[in-house]
Structure 1
Amino acid sequence: GAENAALPGPRAEPAVLPELTREETLAELEAARTAGEPAPAAQAVAGPEQRAQPYVGPRPKIVTRKGWGADESLRDKSFAYTGTVKAAFVHHSATGNNYTCAEAPSVIRGIYRYHTKSSGWRDLGYNFMVDKCGTVYEGRAGGVDKAVLGAHTLGFNSNSTGIAVLGSFSSAKPPKAAVDAVAKLTAWKLGLSGANPKGKVTLTSGGSNLYAKGRKVSLHVISGHRDGYSTECPGTRLYGQLGAARSASAKLQGR
């Protein structure tokens, strides 16, 4: 009846997850730990009373799927998860640079339709997207703080997260706001699993045009798509900014 119309549905999703300070981010991790959720590796107990401060950056503001207008009927109803997020692969969407930031949600909806309808994937391939103004968007569904299995780097989708910067950066320089956002997002996302943004990690290839299936490959914790798969992505100019993003990300983690 009409009297029930105002009642929210089960766990109504917000359009935006607000930015948290580092203290709030740590408090949220601690609350999850005491609630009995599996603690990220970074939260090793230093002693009976003393808990090591995990290296984790503050959670950035994230526009959720609801916020960018995802049509949830396009994706699989179930979610797919991987092990631990040990690496982040950076991409460019190659969808051009002439969009305004207000148009970014419609660009994302187009990529989402292409991945699900044209490519037949279960959902959007990327775990996150970043626009030219530095806004972070939730990609594949399943929880921004969870190890959601994406479809972004053939051979290395397991134990990784995929971040696409909206635009084409083969010859155009990526906006500073976008590179800063990649640093901020990885400082938080990789920090949840204790990964060092300036470090290297050994991943086992699932099979790609660069590395045969089963081959163990040493990669940067923050890598470009081309590091795991032979492609122009994320564009030479964005790829050249990854070193700066690694340093900034580690700094945000308190390393």
Structure 2
Amino acid sequence: MIYSRYLWIVCVVLSLFYQTNCECPKIYTRNEWSARKALSTRPLREDPPPYVVVHHSATRSCFSVEDCSKLVKSIQDYHIDHNGWDDIGYNFLIGGDGTIYEGRGYGLHGAHSIPYNARSLGVCLLGSFKDTNPPNVQLKALEDFLSCAAADHKIIADYHLIGHRQADKTECPGDRVHAVIEKWPHFEANPQDASPKKL
């Protein structure tokens, strides 16, 4: 499937005739949200990865760069100090205002979904979405981010999109988020168990 690349080409063509913005969304770097240095890193087993795993943080929501940066920092602190991980678990995170934050970043093994850590991109929507709908701007940011990632070969063009609950015993990414992504073109209803059971 080349849906993401198709969307990108359509956007470029439309931009020749209309005021259409095809720029990829800004990603706030680790330095910009004052990340701690990762204790260690390791590359993905498959890069670009064939899977994208969507999460929610199951925390409060945030709607500004200042507040979301603090929330992302607190998640990193929890993952390192409480979970004993080397860094924040996710590759990227998205705030309620649509801002995107670099977690581990591209090309690096995550700690977000045990069967898929070695061959996926883990993206976390900041907030708790069991009973609350995610803001449209947050979902749009996720769509745009994934389209750009596919176009830039950061994930494979025909990537498989899954929710965290499809890989582990969890409610993540929340009923409301999962109900949305299962309607998206890249959604994989029956994903394979992608790697050995280890972080």
TM-score past 0.5 threshold: yes
Counterpart of 1:222 in structure 2 is: 161
1:112 maps to: 76
Residue of structure 2 in register with 1:100 after alignment: 63
Query: TM-score, with normalisation over the residues of structure 2?
Result: 0.75
What do the CA deviations read for 1:15-50 (whole angstroms, capped 9, x no partner)?
Answer: xxxxxxx69xxxxxxxxxxxxxxxxxxxxxxxxxxx
**Mapped pair 1:70 → 2:32:** no
Q: Match of 2:112, as an amino acid?
A: H
Number of residues of Structure 1 aligned to a counterpart in Structure 2: 163
Alignment-mate amino acid for residue 222 of structure 1: L
The percent of aligned pairs where both chains have the same amino acid is: 33
Per-residue Cα deviation, 1:48-81 (whole angstroms, up to 9, x for no partner): xxxxxxxxx8532100001111122xx21x4211
Match of 2:96 among 132, 156, 175: 132
Uncovered stretches (5+) of structure 1, i.e. residues with no partner: 1-21, 24-56, 198-220, 248-255
> Aligned partners of 1:237, 1:244: CA distance in 2, in Å?
12
Give the aligned CA root-mean-square deviation in angstroms: 2.1
- Distance in 1, matches of 2:79 and 2:23, equals 30
Is 1:88 the counterpart of 2:52 in the alignment? yes
Pair 1:224–1:91, CA change in 2 (3 A): same
2: CA distance, partners of 1:186 / 1:108: 20
RCO higher in structure (CA 8 A, sep ≥6): 2
Match of 1:195 in 2: 157
Q: Secondary structure at the match of 1:239?
A: helix
Q: Once the 2 structures are TM-superposed, how far is the Cα of residue 159 of structure 1 from its aligned partner?
A: 1.0
**Matches of residues 1-255 of structure 1 in structure 2 within 5 Å?**
59-72=24-37, 75-76=38-39, 78-82=40-44, 83-84=46-47, 85-97=49-61, 99-101=62-64, 102-140=66-104, 144=105, 146-191=106-151, 192=153, 193-197=155-159, 221-246=160-185
CA contact (8 A) 1:81 1:149 kept: yes
Asked if structure 2 preserves the Cα contact closer than 8 Å seen for 1:104 and 1:131, the reply is yes
1:229 deviates by 1.1
Q: Which amino acid in the other structure matches residue 194 of structure 1?
A: I
Task: Give TM-score, length-normalised by structure 1.
Answer: 0.59
Q: Tell me the CA shift for residue 244 of structure 1.
A: 4.8
Preserved CA contact (<8 Å) 1:183 1:245: no
CA–CA separation in structure 2 for the residues paired with 1:59 and 1:233: 26
Larger Rg belongs to: 1
